[in-house]
Structure 1
Amino acid sequence: MNRWLSVLIDKAGLYFLHRNRSIYTQFQNDNDLHSILHNQNRDAFYQLNEVPHLLFEQKDSKQLSPYSYQYDSPIQTGDKTNDIAQGICYLNENHDQSVHVIIVHGWRSDSLNKFKSIFLKQMQKKGYNVYFPTLPYHFERASGSQYSGEYMISANVERTITAIRQAVLEIRGLIQWIKQTKRGKVVLIGVSLGGYISNLVSVYEKEIDSLISVMYANNLSYEIWNTPIGKYIKQDLQKHNITYEQLQQYWSILQADETQSLISTEKILLISGKYDQYVMDQDTKNLWLAWGKPKRLLYNCGHAGIVFSQKQIARDTINFIENLTTNGSE
């Protein structure tokens, strides 16, 4: 796909995305926020105190139907609907000894259809177990919001921090539960916001056998301030006299390239679109450089390449997983 067409498709996508936006300001002032954030220790902030107990239920009686699962979120926000971590999974017959793939969806996703169409069928053919966790304030966890994900990333600076921390710890809990109760390797795949979250998870969770991050961001404050995706959040912040420099300080604890991933470089695959209008190339490049230049694929597409490059994404991710498995990487 050429540059002109890629940019045009992304801009069209952004236009339709922004037709549904917050009606009211999401900003909330907390006079103690600055001191609270600067007294936080990163390892303590993302520490998982115990492995959760997952409850599973098969969605219907069909043999290949997915299971739903849920558990208490390690971070309780006071929102009862949001404080139950949940997701669905597709398990193969020999699910205790397989590759376990966790796929983290993007911001404002209102269904898993796009992510299933990219990965699920091909991964089931390989015999993988596939898990789709629901991010905070998305899908059924988004009660009372204007759209799925509205309360996860917004001008409410502190709630955004809490939601991202909640996502990181919930995925860490799922990974550790798999490692304790199953056998096999755990592969973490994140797409768009899911890639950003997965990158953060890999900085604090050592029980990941491979990380694949697709169309990911790195520095949330940079993306909100410098890309069209965050323009209304930026406007909300500016109306309340929050500067870019302040936001960078507040959200620095949410930045993956501030710390090295615990995953060895040869087990990381980063995928970006050259003409992405949602996520800036400089931001994705910064992470790649900070992490010692793991394998990086640059597609000739924009952020919409998530949809238009489905076969290529599936092929590249599965090849990467299979190569690691064949080579017996530990």
Structure 2
Amino acid sequence: MVSRLRAVRAYWADAGMCAFLNAVHLRHRVPDGARDRLAEYVAECERLGPEEYYRAAADAPSVPEHAGHWRWPSPVTVGLPRNDHAHVEWFPCARGPAAPTALILHALMSASSIGYIALARRFNARGWNAAFVHLPFHYERRPPGTFNGELAVSPDFVRSGQGLRQAVVELRQVTAALRRAGCPGFGVWGTSYGAWVGGLLALLEPDLRFLVLMTPIADVAHAVWESPALRSVRWGLRRAGIEPELVERHSHLSALGRRVPPTAPDRILLLAGAHDRITPAAGVRRLAAEWGGVPVETLPQGHFGYRLARRAWEWGDGKFW
């Protein structure tokens, strides 16, 4: 009976958020010439490997000496000035850059930063620095007149792709700046969209001490063409004549399962919601298999909930932090 109630509660929680996401995306008209523009973008991307695509063209400024906001012009732009500046909330521990750093990557359209800031302080108490990263189109990067993260995934797939690229490139700037300052290693704590970004970063970074990905976008094709969260986006794509095969041509740069991260498997934890229809648990388990059988756990929640975060902290507490 309890499990049934949890499933029903998870269904309606996810359904409510999906309805909101779809209503928000109805505000966006597909740009004229969207298919041709996407085809040109994909053709350019096909000539690049992940290392080239996600390479930072410039360094981030030096790590701040004190807690606060760390901001600089992004090397990847989408033409929206407020978004085109990287923004990190920096929470150093007592040892400063000499300590390892946890990169905290939030969910799509995250409702509040309160929980992430509390998490950053928990890492500080364990002797870790924490960087709460404002991902493209979110928080301090939210363009005027939009909801938090509204533009991160929309029918404008060139902008969505460039936003994803922005996120990974800026994170590589952060890790490079911290290494220069003496940081000995990093960990990634990502949720949903942030887990997707964190997973892409993990495919490129050799020195992650832990990698926690909760409900990652493990199957991009499912997310775009089947997920209930993107019905409005699909409608826009189909109106523009954008077919799955065209989107798939970008997957060598955006799909997590195309390569295996260099992080040791026992330092990775993938977490899925048993009742998640946005990122189904089967897709997360498949990603775990593609990554060589890394640990994966499924808990009784939908895409939205807090059980996974509590379990992730228990998993790493005393072992990695």
In structure 2, the partner of 1:284 is 284
Of 1, 6, 13, 2:10 maps to: 6
Distance (Å, rounded) in 2 between the aligned partners of 1:316 and 1:14 = 30
Hey, what does 1:35 align to over in structure 2? Answer: 43
1:311 alignment partner AA: R
| Paired residues for 1:186-197 under 5 Å | 186-197=186-197
> Does the aligned pair in 2 maintain the 1:53–1:71 contact within 8 Å?
yes
**What do the CA deviations read for 1:266-307 (whole angstroms, capped 9, x no partner)?**
2211111111122122321221111101122211211122x3
The residue aligned with 1:77 is 78
| One-letter identity of the residue aligned with 1:68 | H
Q: Provide the aligned C-alpha RMSD in A.
A: 2.3
Q: Which amino acid in structure 2 is aligned with residue 45 of structure 1?
A: Y
Quick one: distance in 2 between partners of 1:19 and 1:319? 43
- Residue 181 (structure 1) aligned with residue 176 (structure 2): no
The answer to whether the Cα contact below 8 Å between 2:25 and 2:154 also exists between their aligned partners in 1 is no
Pick aligned residue for 1:47 from 41, 51, 55: 55
Unaligned residue ranges in structure 2 (runs of 5+)? none
- Quote the residue 2:169 is aligned against: 169
Report the AA paired with residue 164 of structure 1.
Answer: L
Query: 1:189 aligns to what SS in structure 2?
Result: strand
Amino acid at match of 1:80: P
What displacement does 1:140 show? 2.1
Partner residue of 1:297?
A: 297
- Give secondary structure in 2 for the equivalent of 1:96: helix
Could you tell me how far apart the structure 1 residues matched to 2:186 and 2:70 are? 18
| Structure 1 residues 217 and 186: alpha-carbon distance in aligned structure 2, compared to 1, 3 A threshold | same
TM-score (norm 2): 0.88
Q: Deviations over 1:60-99 (max 9, x none)?
A: xxxxxx4111122222333322221111021222223323
For residue 261 of structure 1, report the CA deviation from its aligned partner. 1.0
**In 2: Cα distance, 1:196 partner to 1:217 partner:** 5
Contact 1:11 1:277 (8 Å CA) reproduced = no
CA contact (8 A) 1:54 1:69 kept: no
Partner of 1:313: 312
Q: What's the CA shift for 1:319?
A: 4.5
Q: What's the CA shift for 1:251?
A: 4.2
State how many pairs are aligned: 313
Q: CA deviation at 1:25?
A: 1.3
Cα distance in structure 1, aligned partners of 2:181 and 2:29: 44
After the TM superposition, which residues 70-219 of structure 1 pair with which residues of structure 2 at under 5 Å, given as runs?
Answer: 70-117=71-118, 119-219=119-219
* Match in the other structure for 1:326: none
Provide the residue aligned with 1:62 in structure 2.
Answer: none
Separation in 2, partners of 1:318, 1:145: 40
CA distance in 1, matches of 2:19, 2:154: 18
Preserved contact between residue 157 and residue 250 of structure 1 (Cα < 8 Å): no
In structure 1, what is the Cα distance between the partners aligned to 2:316 and 2:245? 36
CA distance in 1, matches of 2:40, 2:12: 43
Equivalent position amino acid for 1:302 in 2: G
Superimposed CA distance per residue, residues 233-257 of structure 1 (whole angstroms, 9 cap, x where no aligned partner): 1111011111223222244421111
**Please, which runs of 5 or more residues in structure 1 have no aligned partner?**
59-65, 323-330
1:112 shift after superposition: 1.3
What residue is the counterpart of 1:258 in the other structure? 258
Letter in 2 for 1:253: L
> What SS does the aligned partner of 2:51 have?
helix
Identity, % of aligned pairs? 18
Quote the offset at 1:232 in angstroms: 0.9
Kept in 2, the 8 Å contact 1:57–1:68? The answer is no
CA separation of 1:289/1:136 partners in 2, compared to 1, >3 Å: closer, same or farther? same
2:215 counterpart letter in structure 1: M
Shift of 1:200: 0.4
Q: CA deviation at 1:318?
A: 2.9
Local SS of the residue matching 1:159: helix
CA distance in structure 2 between the aligned counterparts of 1:310 and 1:219, rounded to whole angstroms: 21
* Matched residue SS, 1:298: strand
Structure 2 CA distance, aligned partners of 1:42 and 1:198? Answer: 14
Task: Report the alpha carbon displacement of residue 36 of structure 1 after superposing the two structures with TM.
Answer: 2.0
Distance 2:309 2:203 in 1: 27
For the 8 Å contact 2:23–2:232, the answer to whether it is kept is no
